[in-house]
Every structure is written in C-alpha cells, then in structure tokens.
C-alpha cells in the first residue's frame, strides 16, 4: 500500500509539472492493479490517466471508456455505492459524447439516490493540484453542494476562510496537507485558533499515523481522507463532520 501511495503522489507531481507521459503510465499501472482487485479507485486512476492524454492533445477515449465500464461493473457489484458508481459512469460517457447512454445511466442512479438536503454549508477546497480540485468539485456537486469555493495554496485559503468566518458563515474545509507555500497543518492551526469549532477534513496521501497528520488531527480536524479517495469516502467524511459540527 505504501508503494502505491508513493506512486500516486509521484504521478500527481508529474501531472502538475506537465510530465504527462510519465504521469499517464503511473496512473495506468495503478488502475490495472485496482481493476484486478475490483476497487472503485481504478476509475479515479483511469480518469486521471485520460486527463494526462488530454493535456498532450491526444485521444483519451480509451481511458474514459475503461473508466465508464469499470464504474458500471462496480455499480452492479456493490449495492451500497451503486448511485455514485452510476453517476461516475454517466459522466465518463458524457465526456465521450455518448449523451443518450449517459442520460439513461443517470436515470438509473436516481433510483438509488437519497433525497438531497437543500440547505448545505459552504465548502472550501484547498489543494494545489488542479486535477484534485476538479475531482472534489465534481464529487461535491453530486452530493448536492452548491456553494463551493476553491483555493490553490495556503495563503489564499487563510484569506478566503477568514472572510467567511468574519461573515458569520460556518464552512467545511477540505484541506490538503502538502502545499507549496504554507503546509496544511499550519493552515489548520491558524484557522482553528480563530474558530475552534471549524470543520476541517484533512485530505492527504500520507498515512493517518504520519506525525504531521496526527498533530493536525490533534488540533481539532473533524475527519480524514486518504488519497486516492472515492466519492463514498468523501461522503462518509462529510457525514461525520456534519454530525460532529456545532452550529
């Protein structure tokens, strides 16, 4: 598992630095392994691999088609996560231009989806990876969140969240631990000093036992998600955060 996380972290670094061929190869290696094990994460890796192809100006249909078919397979296999798997498959088919098939699968997903609570708290995503920002935004939209804000570094996150707090809002922060200017643990500490009951969900490739992660959890973060993550893992973290929040 440690080697897979290291490989994922390296692939994200390659993607960020426009080393798209190297990133694509690593994401595909990870996807093949997860597909053999029948895990949801394979779809995430395949979509990231397709993004690498897209950034090269190459046809990425093969990766998206594999991701769509994998999500459909998982939807039929795992009843608990069926709605999310169907939605992911629909989005892949939509990107492929298969509109009718995407609509049909979306209708199938609605049979499983719980009623969405309209009154959602603001969400602030903090991550220096454009790919992760996009994926989290897509996942949050599927979960019914509409007030979604993004920050690509620690400094802008501090400014954005501080303004929300000063405006008497109660946001949920999805916080990456590794950023180029201010690390996630430092950002969390500053924000929690200002608002001790602030809801912070840590998102990192590191293990929960990592000293910095443990330290940040000790500051008062409400949940933890390890990269790479699925929509259902994000939903569970948000549910935990909502249950523990003080409003």
Backbone angles phi, psi at 3, to 5 degrees: -65, -40
Q: Are strands 199-204 and 172-176 parallel, antiparallel or unpaired?
A: parallel
Residue that terminates a domain, selected from 110, 131, 147 = 110
Number of domains forming the structure of the chain: 2
Q: Give the pLDDT confidence score for residue 64 in this predicted structure.
A: 93
Q: Give the pLDDT confidence score for residue 214 in this predicted structure.
A: 67
Q: Give the pLDDT confidence score for residue 215 in this predicted structure.
A: 62
Q: In the block, which residue shows the tokens 């950002």?
A: 187
Q: Give the pLDDT confidence score for residue 144 in this predicted structure.
A: 86
Q: Give the pLDDT confidence score for residue 117 in this predicted structure.
A: 44
What string of H, E and C letters represents the secondary structure of 140-192?
Answer: HHHCCCCCEEEECCHHHHHHHHHHHHHCCCCCEEEEECCCCCCCHHHHHHHHH
Mark whether 13 and 74 lie in a shared domain: yes
Mark whether 102 and 23 lie in a shared domain: yes
pLDDT in tens, the chain (247 residues): 468 888 888 988 888 899 999 999 999 999 999 998 888 889 889 999 999 999 899 999 999 999 999 998 888 886 667 777 888 888 898 888 888 888 888 787 777 665 444 467 899 999 988 888 888 998 999 888 889 999 989 899 999 999 998 988 889 999 888 888 888 888 888 888 888 788 888 888 766 556 666 665 655 566 778 888 888 889 888 887 776 654 4
Q: In the block, which residue shows the tokens 């990766």?
A: 63
Mark whether 85 and 152 lie in a shared domain: no
Long-range contacts of 158-167 (CB under 8 A, 24+ apart): 158/182, 158/187, 158/190, 158/191, 160/124, 161/124, 161/191, 161/198, 162/191, 162/194, 164/122, 164/124, 165/191, 165/194, 165/195, 165/198
CA atoms in the 13 A half-sphere facing the CB of 233: 16
Burial pattern 36-63, b for ≥16 Cβ within 10 A else e, equals: eeebbbbbbbbbbbbbbbeeeeeebeeb
Q: Give the pLDDT confidence score for residue 61 in this predicted structure.
A: 92
Query: Which residue range is the domain that position 20 belongs to?
Result: 2-110
C-beta of residue 93 within 8 angstroms of C-beta of residue 68 = yes
C-alpha to C-alpha distance for 40 and 92, rounded to whole angstroms: 14
CA atoms in the 13 A half-sphere facing the CB of 129: 24
CATH code where residue 129 lies: 3.40.50.2300
CATH code where residue 50 lies: 1.25.40.10
For the stretch 54-68, pLDDT in tens is 989 999 999 999 999
C-beta of residue 195 within 8 angstroms of C-beta of residue 220 = no
In a domain, 136, yes or no: yes
C-alpha to C-alpha distance for 51 and 63, rounded to whole angstroms: 9
Q: In the block, which residue shows the tokens 């590794």?
A: 178
For the stretch 2-17, pLDDT in tens is 688 888 889 888 888 9
């Amino acid at each position: 598992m440690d080697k897979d996380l290291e490989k994922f972290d390296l692939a994200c670094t390659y993607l960020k630095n426009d080393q798209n061929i190297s990133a694509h190869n690593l994401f595909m290696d990870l996807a093949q392994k997860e597909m053999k094990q029948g895990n949801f994460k394979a779809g995430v890796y395949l979509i990231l691999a397709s993004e690498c192809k897209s950034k090269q100006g190459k046809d990425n249909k093969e990766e998206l088609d594999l991701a769509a078919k994998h999500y459909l397979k998982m939807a039929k296999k795992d009843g608990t996560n069926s709605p999310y798997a169907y939605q992911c498959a629909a989005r892949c088919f939509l990107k492929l231009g298969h509109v009718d098939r995407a609509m049909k699968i979306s209708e199938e997903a609605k049979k499983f989806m719980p009623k969405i609570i309209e009154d959602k708290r603001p969400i602030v995503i903090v991550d220096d990876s454009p790919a992760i920002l996009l994926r989290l935004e897509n996942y949050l939209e599927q979960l019914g969140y509409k007030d979604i804000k993004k920050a690509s570094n620690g400094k802008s996150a501090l400014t954005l969240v501080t303004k929300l707090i000063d405006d008497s809002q109660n946001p949920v922060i999805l916080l990456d631990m590794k950023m180029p200017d201010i690390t996630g643990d430092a950002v969390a500490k500053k924000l929690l000093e200002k608002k001790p009951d602030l809801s912070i969900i840590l998102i990192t490739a590191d293990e929960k036992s990592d000293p910095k992660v443990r330290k940040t959890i000790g500051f008062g973060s409400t949940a933890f998600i390890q990269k790479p993550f699925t929509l259902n893992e994000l939903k569970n973290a948000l549910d935990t955060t909502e249950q523990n929040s003080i409003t």
